[in-house]
Amino acid sequence: MMSRPRLAYVLPNLFTAASIFTGIISLTEAAKGRYEQAAWLIFLSLVFDGLDGRIARLTHTCSRFGLEFDSLADIVAFGVAPAMLLYFQVGRHYGRFGILVSALFVVFGAIRLARFNVTDSCNEPGVFIGLPIPTAAVFVAGWSLLFTGHHLEALGILLLFASLLVAFLMVSNIRYPSFKKLDLDRPLMLKTLILLTLVASLLYLFSSEGLALLILAYIAYGPVRSLRVSLSRFRRLRRVKNRRRSSGP
């Protein structure tokens, strides 16, 4: 009979395997032209991906094998699956450019995962350097649902360029909040609960539109924040130079 610790060790890896399996099914659905089902399967992979890490932490069964397995699962579920959804739904109508965008999405996603694995995340807790690959995958899935629901295939070239930009954001040094280590006090927790309730209500009323815009807002947050920080630094440097000039001989 298998001991309890060994069962606890296997359990999170089963969710990781489920994430891979769901990603493969998403790929086959996209190849059949069932884009809506393929998109929702990517979201299901995201659920499995979130559960494996949480279960590993709760059962204290984090391991090097689990981390490597999780990265391999991510490249399938959040790299290959959304790239193929993007290609079959939109990219195949634009020849080599469609192939290039899908290929770069996977390549840059793999680079993002490799960099995450070799970077000491303790240097800046609560922050991702570069757009996380699950967010990039959810961007493709969310906008795929929007395109399917509103028949926006004529705007497919815009989705390709947007996905290419998202791929570059994955390998950028732009910082994104992770929300993994939020320490909310009581008043802030109440405000957060109210905000999340409002967001959930909007998603209920406008599921595909709200989801796509919510993901877009998170992705846009990184470059906007980076631009604000750069402008703030430039202004401080300019003030310092002006002070030196005014105090000079």
Residue range 6-29: mean pLDDT, rounded: 86
Q: Does position 160 have pLDDT exceeding 90, yes or no?
A: yes
The pLDDT value recorded for residue 39 is 95
Span of 33-37, 86-90, 136-140, 175-179 with lowest mean pLDDT: 175-179
The pLDDT value recorded for residue 19 is 93
Where is pLDDT greater, at 187 or 17?
17
Q: Compute the distance between CA of residue 27 and CA of residue 211 in angstroms, rounded to an integer.
A: 21
Q: Does position 191 have pLDDT exceeding 80, yes or no?
A: no
DSSP-derived 3-state class of residue 183? coil
Give the gyration radius of the chain's Cα atoms: 21
Q: Does position 183 have pLDDT exceeding 60, yes or no?
A: no
The pLDDT value recorded for residue 181 is 56
Using 50, 70 and 90 to split pLDDT, how confident is the model at 23? very high
Q: 144 near 87, Cβ under 8 Å? A: no
CA 23 to chain CA mean position, Å: 15
Q: Which stretches of 119-172 are DSSP H helices?
A: 133-150, 156-170
Residue range 12-40: mean pLDDT, rounded: 93
Q: Does position 195 have pLDDT exceeding 80, yes or no?
A: no
- At residue 94, φ and ψ (nearest 5 deg) are -120, 25
Q: Compute the distance between CA of residue 220 and CA of residue 216 in angstroms, rounded to an integer.
A: 6
**CB within 8 Å of 159: residues ≥ 6 apart:** 86, 90, 143, 147
Residue range 186-195: mean pLDDT, rounded: 70
**pLDDT (tens digit per residue) in 53-102:** 777 777 776 777 778 888 899 999 999 999 999 999 999 999 999 999 99
Q: Mean pLDDT: which of 20-24, 148-152, 215-219 is highest? A: 20-24
Beta strands in the chain (DSSP E): 127-129, 175-177
The pLDDT value recorded for residue 236 is 81
Q: What is the pTM of this model?
A: 0.83
Residue range 228-246: mean pLDDT, rounded: 78
